[in-house]
Structure 1
Amino acid sequence: MRLRPPAWTATLTWKAALFITVMCCALATLLGVLVHVAVTRQTVDNAREKALTKLGDVTRLYEAGDRLPPGAGLDPPGLPASLRALAAEGRRGTLVADHHGRPTMWAAGPADGGRAIAAEIDYSQGARTIDGLDRAIAGSAVLAIGATLLVGAFAVTRVTRRLHQTATVARRIGAGDLDARVGDPRTKDPSRAQDEVATVAGALDTMAATLQAKLESEQRFTADVAHELRTPLTGLHAAAELLPPGRPAELVRDRVQTMRVLTEDLLEISRLDARREQVDLDCHPLGPLAERAVRATGTDTEVRIVREVCVETDRRRLERVLGNLVANAHKHGRTPVLLTVDGPVLSVRDHGDGFPAYLVEHGPQRFRTEGGAHGHGLGLTIALGQARVLGARLEFGNAAEGGAVATLTLPYVPEEPGCGAAE
């Protein structure tokens, strides 16, 4: 089983904090090593110079036959073996080693008889200096990393907060709220320098404003066309009623009626697009309401009530949604058509070829057809728009046994008070 890191590790804040920490640690380590090496070299060089000076003095005393001072002698105990061997070869050298439990700087050189003359000085102060420096470097590095993390987290959080705000506005626009804007103050002053986040926010606001203007223009055009069509259609309808009975008159009346329905649908869609619809909420039992909606379509549709509930909804709009779904099932599917009421969930199923793949995936699209097939017109689009006004969820799918299934889920609070019989 492959383990995945937690979701929060994918955030920009966490990545920036990790990057800052790694870079601070690397920089602190590099600087610490450089300072440690430089100070250690200087301390050791000073101690070596003192040890060699003392060794020179001791050598002159030895050659003069004088008594050697404390901390010097021929082959003294504790002299490192490497220095003893170096002196035996006729060379001088120094080495730091522990002697009697404390750091000691040894200096040794050749003496007669293959012996080594050596001098020692206490190196404890130098060792303490280096240890104190290392602790100071480590403490300073921790403080510097902590301070850098705090400052970096503050700076990164400001950027990520603005990015989250921009993403939230983008999602609101995608959900249909075209009035949503980021409104970054940096974009309102052209003379002010803008960073990349402000540029993205400004571009998003410009795109939203352009899209809103274009959609509102199209909505006004649709509404204006529908309104303008009403007058000539009314005249055509009146003229068609005056035609003598016969097949031509029936065809004219049928086409005029179709155009009138289409015009009313366009007007309804323009109102839904404007998002100014107001719902008239009241409590209604869903079973009788569904039966009334089916009777209004004049179709042979079975209504099956699995579980009866009362919901607070707009009866007229709900009947419109159910009527459109039932009419679409009869028009584009095959009988039998079944409307099922199961609590606040209502489903309409036919036994045709099912919804096309694009409709199941993306929802209904106005007048769209594929491969020369008959399109779905505006009925499903209106049903989806009215469902959103009701706060309901309308989903489209296909049954495993065949046939299209439209499922409407209404907002529901159990035991809704004051729910009486349907009118």
Structure 2
Amino acid sequence: MRFTSLRLRLVLVFGLVALTAAVTASGIAYWLNREAVLTRAQDAVLHDFKDELEDRAGVLPADASREELRQAAEQMSRSSQNFSVLLMSTSPDGQPITAPSAELDQFTLADVPLSLREAVNREQKLTAANPSPYHVYWQRTVDENDTPCLVAGARIADGPTGYMLKSLEPEAKDLNSLAWSLGIATALALVGSALLAQAAATTVLRPVHRLGIAARRLGEGKLDTRLQVSGTDELAELSRTFNRTAAALEHRVAEMTARDEASRRFVADMSHELRTPLTAITAVTEVLEEELDAETGGIDPMIEPAVRLVVSETRRLGDLVENLMEVTRFDAGTARLVLDDVDIADQITACVDARAWLDAVELDAERGVMARLDPRRLDVVLANLIGNALKHGGSPVRVSVRVEDAPAAPLAQLAPLTPHVGHSAHDVGERAEQVADADAGAEGAEDSSEAAGKVLVIEVRDHGPGIPEEVLPHVFDRFYKASASRPRSEGSGLGLSIALENAHIHGGEIAAANSPEGGAVFTLRLPLDASAAAEQAAVEQQAAARQRQRSGR
């Protein structure tokens, strides 16, 4: 059990409260009983001593002999209270005479405190309220053996002075027994309070534990999580509040998911519907472009700029529609990998050559580095990264390739959990569940390929001004453009986002940074063998289909 747990704190608080209450009650009870016992014994002894002193010593003359004093003291000590007696008088020649109650008695005048002797011998003024010049005085002391004693004394007018010593050891033993009993009762009360605290903590913490589990399930995207509620206390009200909150959240997420799904369907339908007229427009613009390039000059020079603008904007619109279609496939989870064995150096060369970038790109890659990837999607990633570097950083753009050991956490497990702009929290919860399904489906699989545990790293570096620090976190966001003053540009704002999605579906990642030597660096990391990522993507798509079916119900 952790020392910071609520259960332990509750037990400690209960224990401290019970201990404080038990100790306080025991202390008060002990003090009250002690005073009662001592007062009762003291009153009985003093009353008996006073009576015996008046009856025995009161009849003695003022100049009584030692033997007379001893006999009187012995008779006084035979009282039911069994105390020692010491009588004192003055001889005719003025010498003090002392006589104990027994020859072997250890009670001497030295056992009587000086203050008590002074009080006993002090003569009081006679008044109507005080008919006697001398009174009985007492004091509690301890002897040389630390035994509690009661010492009392009184003087008889025109007679001897008597002192009494009474041992309070029986009363002390009774009080010690009482103290042990109260201590045991305190310990039992502490144990009982700990048991009660444990029971109370269990009663209180069980609903809290269930609430914590439900909150974690809710955070994992299982929005149908609810708590069983019984009772009318504060914890029951908290559970009802949680259920109402979860229901409202599920309803709100369902609405957002429905709107998001409707938006995706709208984009997909719009893109699909645009393709037909766009195909016709593209055909016309190709004819116009041929006329522009014809040596005969078949187009009026006055309208040539307008024709060129139409041609360029038509191409831009075509690229935008294709990008929207690709984004829609990623969002719908229908994107597929078509794997093939690819020579990376040849693939990069073909990508650069197809776009006439050979003079602007420096390639640092050894031939023979083979990877099992989707060539079409890798071409899209490379085209976007190199094209972006040429557009914003200028030539020359350097592309380097190397192979590294895979990190401790496979990229294929990390990438699918990355949320993208436009995805709801419910989508992230679905992605987490999909990855869990993928891990369960891939458990126990063995990969005997030589590429297992290796990562392909492709760096694309330009020599431009670099990427502003405030722009770096958003370079892969959809439709994001660094310059707000240039909302219209040749790009659609989807290129890098599509490149990142293509890297994710391979089980890889893309990172953007600024080089210390100047310029921006985009680092693409892909597994040398994306077979596992393809299988995982298939499992994810099946899980997403099941989730959509459950949501549809």
Q: For the superposition of Structure 1 and Structure 2, which TM-score range results when normalised by the shorter chain? A: 0.7 to 0.9
Q: Is 1:264 paired with 2:322?
A: yes
2:523 to 393, 407, 410: 407
What corresponds to 2:291 in structure 1?
Answer: 245
How far the C-alpha of 1:393 sits from its partner, in A, is 1.8
Which letter does structure 2 place at the counterpart of 1:353? Answer: P
Amino acid at match of 1:383: A
Q: Which moved more, 1:270-279 or 1:341-350?
A: 270-279
Could you tell me which amino acid in structure 2 is paired with residue 405 of structure 1? V
Indicate whether 1:131 and 2:201 are aligned.
no
Amino acid at match of 1:63: E
| 1:313 to 2:324 alignment | no
**Length-normalised TM-score, structure 2:** 0.61
User: Which aligned pairs between 1:70-219 and structure 2 lie closer than 5 A?
Assistant: 72-74=83-85, 85=115, 89=119, 95=140, 100=145, 104=148, 106-112=149-155, 116-121=163-168, 122=170, 123-142=172-191, 144-145=193-194, 148-149=197-198, 152=201, 155-156=204-205, 159=208, 162-163=211-212, 166-167=215-216, 169-170=218-219, 180-186=221-227, 193-195=237-239, 196-219=241-264
Q: Which residue in the other structure is 1:4 paired with?
A: none
- Separation (CA, whole Å) in 1 of partners of 2:199 and 2:144: 47
In 2, Cα distance between the equivalents of 1:321 and 1:346? 11
Say if 1:92 and 1:107, in contact at 8 Å, map to a contact too.
no
The CA deviation at 1:41 is 2.3
Asked if 1:57 is matched to 2:48, the reply is yes
- Shift of the 163–218 alpha-carbon distance from structure 1 to 2, 3 Å rule, reads farther
SS at match of 1:368: coil
Query: Which of 28, 41, 44 does residue 31 from structure 2 map onto?
Result: 41
Matched, 1:277 2:366: no
1:421 corresponding residue in structure 2? none
What's 1:361 paired with? 473
Separation (CA, whole Å) in 2 of partners of 1:275 and 1:57: 106
Shift of 1:262: 0.3
Higher CA-based Rg: 2
Q: Give, as a single letter, the amino acid of the residue that structure 2 aligns with 1:349.
A: R
Further displaced range: 258-267 or 193-202: 193-202
1:97 shift after superposition? 5.6
Please, which moves more after superposition, 81-90 or 56-65?
Answer: 81-90
CA distance 1:367–1:63, change in 2 (3 Å):
same
> Per the alignment, do residues 186 and 279 of structure 1 end up closer, same or farther by CA in structure 2, a change over 3 Å counting?
same
Per the alignment, residue 433 of structure 2 pairs with: none
Question: Could you report, residue by residue, the CA deviation over 1:84-118 in whole angstroms, capped at 9, with x for unpaired residues?
Answer: 7467536756758687466x4x4444322776534
Whole-Å separation in 1 of the counterparts to 2:352 and 2:108:
109
Matched, 1:372 2:485: yes
CA distance in 2: counterparts of 1:289 and 1:97, whole angstroms: 106
| Match of residue 220 from structure 1 | 265
> Which 10-residue stretch deviates more, 340-349 or 296-305?
296-305
Which secondary structure does the structure 1 equivalent of 2:513 belong to? strand
Aligned twin of 2:97: none
Aligned-pair CA distance for 1:380: 0.6
Please say which of residues 287-296 and 223-232 is displaced more in the overlay: 287-296
Aligned partner of 2:76 in structure 1 is 67
Task: Please state how far the C-alpha of 1:357 moved relative to its aligned partner.
Answer: 2.9
Q: In the alignment, which residue of structure 2 is the partner of 1:304?
A: 364
Q: Which has the higher mean CA deviation after the structures are superposed, 193-202 or 40-49?
A: 193-202
Match of 1:389 in 2: 505
Cα deviation digits, residues 300-341 of structure 1 (max 9, x gap): 322212797544433332332222111111122211112221
The aligned length equals 394
Paired residue secondary structure (2:477): coil
Q: Secondary structure at the match of 1:186?
A: coil
Aligned Cα root-mean-square deviation (Å): 4.0
Contact 1:240 1:253 in 2 (8 A): yes
Q: Which runs of 5+ in 2 are unaligned?
A: 57-74, 87-105, 121-135, 293-303, 404-455, 533-553
Q: Which ranges of structure 1 fall in alignment gaps of 5 or more residues? A: 1-7, 173-179, 417-423
Q: Which amino acid aligns with 2:186?
A: I
Using the TM superposition, name which of 31-40 and 63-72 deviates more. 63-72
Deviations 1:223-265 (A, max 9, x none): 2221222122122122334447123444322221210110010
1:48–1:107 Cα contact (<8 Å) kept: no
- Does structure 2 conserve the Cα–Cα contact (< 8 Å) formed by 1:349 and 1:404? yes
SS of equivalent to 1:117: strand
- Assess, with a 3 A threshold, how the Cα gap between structure 1 residues 287 and 242 changes in structure 2: closer, same or farther: closer
